[in-house]
Amino acid sequence: MTAQEKLKASKLSVTAQRIAILDAVTANPHCTADLVIKEVKSELGKVSKQAVYDTLHLLSEKEIIRCIQPSGFPSIFEARVKDNHHHLICRECNETHDVDCAVGHAPCLTPKEDFGFLVDEAEVIYWGYCPACLEKMKAKKSLEKQ
């Protein structure tokens, strides 16, 4: 689906700015709002930060995009929605990867106690260190030893 079709399918009015924002998120999976602002600016010339934030919020609410809020890092956005995938994030450099869920259908994790809830989603962030940051940490450690 094109950005235009996605907006229409969610009964949102189609504006150049919304298309530019949606295209930026589609082209840059796991992008921050700052990156979207930069992309939209280079596409349309001028844009208000608040308008981009508002649109990102609206598109997330309509589930056209997904907003992930890793603690301690700025929110990231992606156009891959409704497939119950998870994220692997590096604590050092914030590098983010998609990880398909364990069983392929939601929720892929079952809580030990569901308190009578109908659980339909499990959102998991795997935290760790990417290979590049691991290398850097190892190099630093061996320097400290000397």
Among 32, 67, 75, 92, binds Zn ion (CB under 5 A): 92
Segment near Zn ion (CB under 5 A); pick from 40-48, 53-61, 83-91, 110-118: 83-91
- Per-residue string for binding with Zn ion, 117-146, x by CB under 5 A? -------------x--x-------------
For residues 55-83, one letter each, b for 16 or more C-beta atoms within 10 angstroms of the residue's C-beta and e for the rest, the string is: bbeebbeeebbbebebeeeeebbbbeeee
**CA–CA distance, 71 with 125 (Å, rounded to integer):** 10
Kindly tell me which of 45 and 131 has the beta carbon lying closer to Zn ion. 131
Segment near Zn ion (CB under 5 A); pick from 11-19, 44-52, 91-99, 113-121: 91-99
**98 makes contact with Zn ion (CB under 5 A):** yes
> Which residue bears the tokens 């569901």?
114
Nearest to 96 by CA among 120, 122, 65, 124: 124
Binding residues for Zn ion, how many (CB under 5 A)?
A: 8
Among 90, 106, 109, 124, binds Zn ion (CB under 5 A): 90
> Residues for the chain: how many in total?
146
Give the tokens for residue 83. Answer: 């497939």
Residue 33 CB neighbour total at 10 angstroms: 20
Kindly tell me which of 95 and 123 has the beta carbon lying closer to Zn ion. 95
Q: Which residues bind Zn ion (CB under 5 A)?
A: 78, 90, 92-93, 95, 98, 130, 133
